[in-house]
Structure 1
Amino acid sequence: MSAAVHPKGGVAPCSRRAMNLAHWVRQAARRFPGAVGLAWGDRDWTWAEIDARVNAMAAGLAERGVAKGDRVLVQSKNCNQMFESLFACLRLGAVWVPTNFRQTPGEVAYLAQASGASAMICHADFPDHVAAVREAVPDLRFVLAIGPAAFGEDYDAVVAAHAGAVPPMADVEYDDPCWFFFTSGTTGRPKAAVLTHGHMAFVVTNHLCDLMPGTTQADASLVVAPLSHGAGIHQLTQVARGAKTVLLTSDRFDADEAWGLVARHQVTNLFTVPTIVKMLTEHPSVDRHDHSSLRHVIYAGAPMYREDQKHALRKLGKVLVQYFGLGEVTGNITVLPPALHDPEDGGNTKIGTCGFERTGMQVSIQDEHGREVGPDETGEICVCGPAVFAGYYDNPEANAKAFRDGWFRTGDLGHLDAEGFLYITGRASDMYISGGSNVYPREIEEKVLKHPALAEVAILGVPDRTWGEVGVAVCVLRPGETVNERELLTWLEPQVSRYKLPKRVFFWDELPKSAYGKITKKSVRAELEARGQVPLDQPVPAAG
């Protein structure tokens, strides 16, 4: 009788049990029961109180039939209940499905259908969203309301009814889903990226290693973005170390309030996007409040324009941390730490890079056939490693497009230099071809923003009968500044090749942005069309 053969290195196949991520709340409550874990307005919750409320909500959900693998849709502004709902779902082994609260009822109804949600937690401000979800998902079991509402049971009443309950922590394996992270849907409808207990444990460890090393229970983190996406992952990281999370009092961003909270709570880190860093550091209140406690101001979503970066560094010191990553890679592709952010050009400063590979992650720049290209050659940014998501939920076609030979294809274009620093040229969809030459808008945008009169710019390609495509620049002026189209193009002309020079420049009061503060080229294009500013057959007006 021959011995059994185990193909994987002689190791018998077995389940890969993982820590349930909700255990982090229990750990914090055991170690720091009286320490504040969450602050919102004039309310504080200790870790012991958070743990008790999460237990009670988990018991309430279980009583209503929520079990391991069920999806719970959450439509809410940032609040303590939304913060708790993640861990209540995790404790049961259920899947947290947060929406961006600024989405329309129809959009949220689609997310409910796409995720297979069986229950919903909704802020009282969104009755129309509940109605749309119920119509789209007739077998929705129940809705809990955050705040007084006619559409469901009161969330806090459910917590009160189950006070003292300690439901068992669900057993989970590495690949068990914990969070459906919906993509922004810049092309087509949003897709649910499946994040799992095992892979999220790596993501959080990686964040602590690469983004905010040294974080402990003595730290505090300010939330300036919806908890439904990147900010939620950032806060999960704080929970893992027992650090305090601080919420803005309103869903409307207020720079003065943000700086006031930094001073009051001695905030040491925050996560945001370049647009918000720009707003924070250009607001007069940055000089009125003490922000010396800040060690890590982490920005992602897009590289920061160099001029904005320099300004922020002069205001805050060397505390900026950039990372590049998509929802599908949960932010874990590259990092540019504070030591590599410098307010002065020259020397060892690497202008335009988004950093080097995150710990445990690998980047490959590939051509259209999947072949890796050499240093300084542009191609698609592809990535592999433990932070890559498990795939899109119930979407084999999207999964087939997203992966090639095990590499996740980001859809971003860029190159690595000889030292392994990554430079993003732009989205593959942003690139346009003018007269047979590839044009990457990001490169021109960087140069345009050096003009002292400009605050923001978006450049995109539009059809042209002669050249195939040409560039259009949409600019926002700084308060009190003036420059016209001809003057700006004349100023820019010596700095870029002629085929890269935008054919037209338009000035708007503001640029359309996503709910996360990012300029959205898709919305800029739609607005250009709505204003009748394309096609571009008219000549550029003369100066004066």
Structure 2
Amino acid sequence: MSATSNRDPKLPWSTRTTNLAHFLTRNAARLGDRPAIIWDDLTITWGQLDARVSALSAAMQDRFGVQHGDRILVQSPNNNQITEIMLACWRVGAVWVPSNFRQRADEVAYLGQKADVSLMFCEQDFAGHATACTEAAPKLEHVVCIGSGFGTEYEALIADYMGQDVMNADVDRDDPCWLFFTSGSTGRPKAVVLTHGQLGFVTLNHLNDLMPATTPDDVSLVVAPLSHGAGMHQLVQIAAGAASVLVPAGKFDPDAAWELVQRYKVTNMFTVPTIVKMLTEHSAVDAYDHSSLRYVIYAGAPMYREDQKHALRKLGHVLVQYFGLGEVTGAITVLPRHDHHIEDGPEARVGTCGIERTGLHVSIQGDDGQILGPHETGEICVAGPAVCAGYYMDDGANEKAFRNGWFRTGDLGHLDEQRYLYITGRASDMYISGGSNVYPREIEELLLTHPAVSEVAILGCPHRTWGEVGLAVCVLDDGHDVNEAELNALLAAKLAKYKLPSQYIYLPEMPKTGYGKVTKKLVREELEVQGLWPGELS
């Protein structure tokens, strides 16, 4: 997969599309004096943002020789500069390559090498990352420092080129604009190629399916890293002309988040289930006015039913769930507000992640690619204009991920008669005990109904007789205690005996990725570090 244009000179009219940076151009013309980004005491209007992006675009071209298709690496926590760099990359036709800022220097260096980057923007607290990247990426000669201490200073660069007007580059539908690195839960991260045409569709799809009637009067709270799903969410706000409010830097503080919701009358936010849990279980949820909220969107993992009920009681009917991967930029299914129910029953469809997104086609397939019927479990596959252009320079990964035009998600699940999708779990999470498939999610859901259990992860553990058995890793609520017999009795009332965990381990907190997700790979690594992984049981 190349990060250069796939223009067909014989059909020049068929692939030309809108440069995503045109959203900013349009906003600056129409909404110039209205706020685009609010962060602590800083407010940047659409007009100011457009001027800063043009200045940065001019600097990238003049000072560093950035050309169409070049890859630009960014290592930084959330700030206004990340958005400016993203839009400047698109304005000049370059490719934005954001990292997970919580990754180690050697991990980010791998991203720079894999993407073959030619320029890096690095926040001042990550000097070691900048050094590691320049050593690993052969084309990387220049580093721009967001702050001061090394390289070229970002704000000085903006000042030097302020006032220069840069037009948005001509782009084709299939021109790459974003290398979206996967979380690497099953190995080293892969670089997903996202294009201008694809993201243009996803933006429209998000506005239609997730946040209908979003306008410039809306305000979005940014609580997750802009390098991944929150970056796509912010692009949707840019398209709508809505302002984005960033939470304060540092460790996430629910009290500060709720204060911002009240102060700016926030109408939407993008989160993951663990953040929704933190927000709704914190006392601040009752201390501030959050009646302005219309959409609290969560993705990255399904929300456990008990957590979902609690959030609905606290926030009302504002929850919107979507299921998707970086390869489909989040756009596979949606469970809209009206499909979230506090009471269990047929309408609640407990466990569903919703219906197909507009323009997307979901199928459940067997190992041979055969399309399965309702309630038959298989791999969740998807086709449609939200699917990425493949993985950058990775033919092996492309061959595994695509079959007969379908993208294979690696998730297992089934559709019901009305085409609501139910995720059983990752194919890699499933384990086989005594010849029977065991899907951890149904066990986890039941354990979370116990008042003492706050978080849980079920892992398959080697067993001398049964091949694999379940290992339950639990986090208990403060002040609560529970024994294994009590938990197994809860499960035995609803599950076959072979599904009951063979052993329980209790942790003070569950390890999570930099995006707040709990992955089985990370949990197992934490158990191994602490010497708690039992190895083969008997």
TM-score band, normalised by the shorter chain?
A: over 0.9
1:403 offset after TM fit, Å? 0.1
1:262 offset after TM fit, Å? 0.5
DSSP 3-state at the match of 2:468:
strand
Measure the CA separation in 2 of the matches of 1:496 and 1:128. Answer: 50
Match of 2:355 in 1: 356
Measure the CA separation in 2 of the matches of 1:504 and 1:242. Answer: 52
Match of 1:113 in 2: 113
Match of 2:277 in 1: 278
Q: Give 2:498's aligned amino acid.
A: Y
Identity %: 62
Match of 1:129 in 2: 129
Cα separation, partners in 2 of 1:110 and 1:538, compared to 1, 3 Å: closer
- 1:14-39 per-residue CA deviation (whole Å, 9 max, x = no partner) reads 54101000010111111111100100
Cα separation, partners in 2 of 1:509 and 1:18, compared to 1, 3 Å: same
Q: Give 1:89's aligned amino acid.
A: C
Match of 1:517 in 2: 516
Cα separation, partners in 2 of 1:393 and 1:431, compared to 1, 3 Å: same
1:484 offset after TM fit, Å? 1.9
- Which moves more between the two structures, 480-489 or 349-358? 480-489
Q: Is the 8 A contact 1:37 1:45 kept in 2?
A: yes
- 1:444-475 per-residue CA deviation (whole Å, 9 max, x = no partner) reads 00000000111000001010001000000011
DSSP 3-state at the match of 1:194:
strand
Measure the CA separation in 1 of the matches of 2:99 and 2:85. Answer: 13
Match of 1:32 in 2: 31
Q: Give 1:117's aligned amino acid.
A: V
Cα separation, partners in 2 of 1:484 and 1:133, compared to 1, 3 Å: same
Measure the CA separation in 1 of the matches of 2:72 and 2:238. Answer: 21
- 1:221-264 per-residue CA deviation (whole Å, 9 max, x = no partner) reads 00111100000000000000110000011132110000001001
1:524 offset after TM fit, Å? 1.0
Match of 2:199 in 1: 200
Measure the CA separation in 2 of the matches of 1:12 and 1:87. Answer: 28
Q: State how 1:229-308 maps to structure 2 within 5 Å.
A: 229-308=228-307
Q: Is the 8 A contact 1:78 1:251 kept in 2?
A: no
Measure the CA separation in 1 of the matches of 2:28 and 2:166. Answer: 16
Q: Is the 8 A contact 1:294 1:319 kept in 2?
A: yes
DSSP 3-state at the match of 2:121:
strand
Measure the CA separation in 1 of the matches of 2:217 and 2:363. Answer: 38
Q: Is the 8 A contact 1:268 1:295 kept in 2?
A: yes
Match of 1:173 in 2: 172
Measure the CA separation in 2 of the matches of 1:95 and 1:223. Answer: 23
After superposition, the CA RMSD in angstroms is 1.3
Q: TM-score with structure 1 length normalisation?
A: 0.95
Q: Give 1:499's aligned amino acid.
A: Y
Match of 1:386 in 2: 385
Match of 1:99 in 2: 99
Measure the CA separation in 1 of the matches of 2:337 and 2:46. Answer: 30
1:494 offset after TM fit, Å? 1.6
DSSP 3-state at the match of 2:125:
coil
Q: Give 2:77's aligned amino acid.
A: K
DSSP 3-state at the match of 2:398:
helix
Match of 1:157 in 2: 156
Q: State how 1:353-502 maps to structure 2 within 5 Å.
A: 353-502=352-501
1:489 offset after TM fit, Å? 1.8
Q: Is the 8 A contact 2:207 2:213 kept in 1?
A: yes
Cα separation, partners in 2 of 1:282 and 1:394, compared to 1, 3 Å: same
- 1:357-396 per-residue CA deviation (whole Å, 9 max, x = no partner) reads 0000000100000000110000000000000000000111
Measure the CA separation in 2 of the matches of 1:434 and 1:347. Answer: 31
How many corresponding residue pairs? 528
DSSP 3-state at the match of 1:208:
helix
Match of 2:5 in 1: none
1:168 offset after TM fit, Å? 2.4
- Which moves more between the two structures, 273-282 or 518-527? 518-527
Q: Give 2:456's aligned amino acid.
A: V
Q: TM-score with structure 2 length normalisation?
A: 0.97
**Gap regions ≥5 residues in structure 1:** 1-10, 540-544
Match of 1:80 in 2: 80
Match of 2:6 in 1: none
1:530 offset after TM fit, Å? 3.2
- 1:291-322 per-residue CA deviation (whole Å, 9 max, x = no partner) reads 00000000001110000000000000000000
DSSP 3-state at the match of 1:126:
helix
Q: Give 2:101's aligned amino acid.
A: F
Measure the CA separation in 2 of the matches of 1:69 and 1:42. Answer: 35
Cα separation, partners in 2 of 1:507 and 1:401, compared to 1, 3 Å: same
Q: State how 1:35-54 maps to structure 2 within 5 Å.
A: 35-54=34-53
Q: Give 1:193's aligned amino acid.
A: V
Q: Is the 8 A contact 2:36 2:242 kept in 1?
A: yes
Measure the CA separation in 1 of the matches of 2:460 and 2:11. Answer: 55
Q: Give 1:284's aligned amino acid.
A: S
Q: Give 2:140's aligned amino acid.
A: L
1:496 offset after TM fit, Å? 1.1
Q: Is the 8 A contact 2:19 2:90 kept in 1?
A: yes
Measure the CA separation in 2 of the matches of 1:326 and 1:382. Answer: 11
Measure the CA separation in 2 of the matches of 1:241 and 1:138. Answer: 39
1:492 offset after TM fit, Å? 2.3
Q: Give 2:301's aligned amino acid.
A: A
Q: Give 2:358's aligned amino acid.
A: T
Measure the CA separation in 2 of the matches of 1:27 and 1:272. Answer: 27
1:535 offset after TM fit, Å? 3.1
Q: Give 1:346's aligned amino acid.
A: G
Q: Is the 8 A contact 2:319 2:336 kept in 1?
A: yes
- 1:42-99 per-residue CA deviation (whole Å, 9 max, x = no partner) reads 1101100000000000001011201110000000111111111100110000000000
Measure the CA separation in 1 of the matches of 2:346 and 2:89. Answer: 50
- 1:176-206 per-residue CA deviation (whole Å, 9 max, x = no partner) reads 0000000011112111100000010000000
- Which moves more between the two structures, 66-75 or 137-146? 137-146
DSSP 3-state at the match of 1:473:
strand
1:537 offset after TM fit, Å? 6.9
Match of 2:327 in 1: 328
- 1:400-434 per-residue CA deviation (whole Å, 9 max, x = no partner) reads 00000000000000000000000000000000000
Q: Is the 8 A contact 2:116 2:139 kept in 1?
A: no
Measure the CA separation in 1 of the matches of 2:86 and 2:139. Answer: 22
Q: Is the 8 A contact 1:70 1:117 kept in 2?
A: yes
1:507 offset after TM fit, Å? 1.0
1:13 offset after TM fit, Å? 7.3
Q: Is the 8 A contact 2:185 2:522 kept in 1?
A: no
DSSP 3-state at the match of 2:422:
strand
Q: Give 1:219's aligned amino acid.
A: D
1:219 offset after TM fit, Å? 0.2
Q: Is the 8 A contact 2:411 2:423 kept in 1?
A: yes
Measure the CA separation in 2 of the matches of 1:98 and 1:396. Answer: 22
**Gap regions ≥5 residues in structure 2:** 1-9
1:525 offset after TM fit, Å? 1.1
Measure the CA separation in 2 of the matches of 1:47 and 1:32. Answer: 6
Measure the CA separation in 2 of the matches of 1:443 and 1:481. Answer: 23
- 1:119-149 per-residue CA deviation (whole Å, 9 max, x = no partner) reads 0001001000001011112431311110112
Q: Is the 8 A contact 1:485 1:506 kept in 2?
A: no
Q: Is the 8 A contact 2:463 2:537 kept in 1?
A: no
DSSP 3-state at the match of 2:437:
strand
Q: Give 1:168's aligned amino acid.
A: M
Match of 1:340 in 2: 339
Measure the CA separation in 2 of the matches of 1:260 and 1:486. Answer: 43
Match of 2:4 in 1: none
